[in-house]
Amino acid sequence: MKIAKAISSLIESFEKLPGIGPKSAQRLTYYLLHVPQRELDEFGKNLERLKKDTVFCTVCKNIAEVDPCPICSDNLRDKTILLVVEQPLDILAFERSGRFRGIYHCLHGAINPLENIGPDEIFIDELIKRVKDTKKNKIEEVVIATNPTMEGEATAMYLVKQFKSINSKVKVTRLGMGIPTGADLEYADDVTLTQALEGRREM
């Protein structure tokens, strides 16, 4: 049976999203057929505004409505400690815990040779520049909070090597135990994140 073009096109669009397989894409599409048109219109407007109404913070590379983002422009934050994460969702997780009052740097990925993602494909150079610029920044400690996966560990080791190559006097630490190997930080609970912060070790 031939599916209506509008339906098949939306199914294909959903299939391009991470974690959405063909069956999930079909279920989502047919579910939306039963949603009132006004809700679909609102959904469409939200999608349209997603990139139009957001910007990359030029300082930390987080996604926000303004540049610099509210965290970077907050004078009450501790600017001496910088937490390096893979994705903006990781920042949300730490902010939700309410236990970290420093600043962030978002890499937007991790080094992954199998996916052809090298250091130049993520925001590592910008991080190194922030750490090197001691006149502008007061960073005393960099906490590497990449995920405890093969890619996250490779990224962490690469960062340590880069910091040593610039003879940085900044203390470099790694999140402590509490985050299971292979897990993503965005799914960790507040207690686990707090324990990981408190148990960080120097690299």
CA distance 133 to 149: 30
Considering just the CA atoms, what is the radius of gyration of the chain in Å?
A: 20
Helix spans in 5-107 (H)? 5-15, 22-32, 37-52, 88-97
Q: Is the pLDDT of residue 203 over 70?
A: no
- Cα(111)–Cα(86) distance, integer angstroms: 10
pTM of this structure: 0.80
180 has a pLDDT exceeding 60: no
Residue 55, beta-bridge partner list = 64
- Residue 121 pLDDT: 95
With pLDDT > 70 as the criterion, what percentage of the chain qualifies? Answer: 87
User: Would you state the structure tokens that stand for residue 203, as one six-digit string?
Assistant: 């690299």
179 pLDDT above the threshold of 60: no
For domain 5-52, which CATH number applies: 3.90.110.10, 1.10.3720.10, 1.10.8.420, 1.25.10.10? 1.10.8.420
Q: Give the per-residue pLDDT at 137.
A: 86
Residue 2 has a pLDDT of: 81
**How high is the mean pLDDT of the chain?**
89
58-202 maps to CATH 3.40.1360.10: yes
Q: What residue ranges of the chain are covered by domains with CATH 1.10.8.420?
A: 5-52
Residue 97: pLDDT band with limits 50, 70, 90: confident
pLDDT at res. 164:
87
User: Mean per-residue pLDDT for 19-37?
Assistant: 95
Rounded mean pLDDT, 1-21:
92
Give CA–CA dist 153/137, Å, rounded. 26
Residues of CATH 3.40.1360.10 domain(s) within the chain? 58-202
Q: Per mean pLDDT, which range of 125-134, 143-152, 190-199 is the poorest?
A: 190-199
What token pair was written down for 31?
Answer: 């579910």
pLDDT band at residue 199, thresholds of 50, 70 and 90?
Answer: low
Q: How confident is the model at residue 198 (pLDDT cuts 50, 70, 90)?
A: low
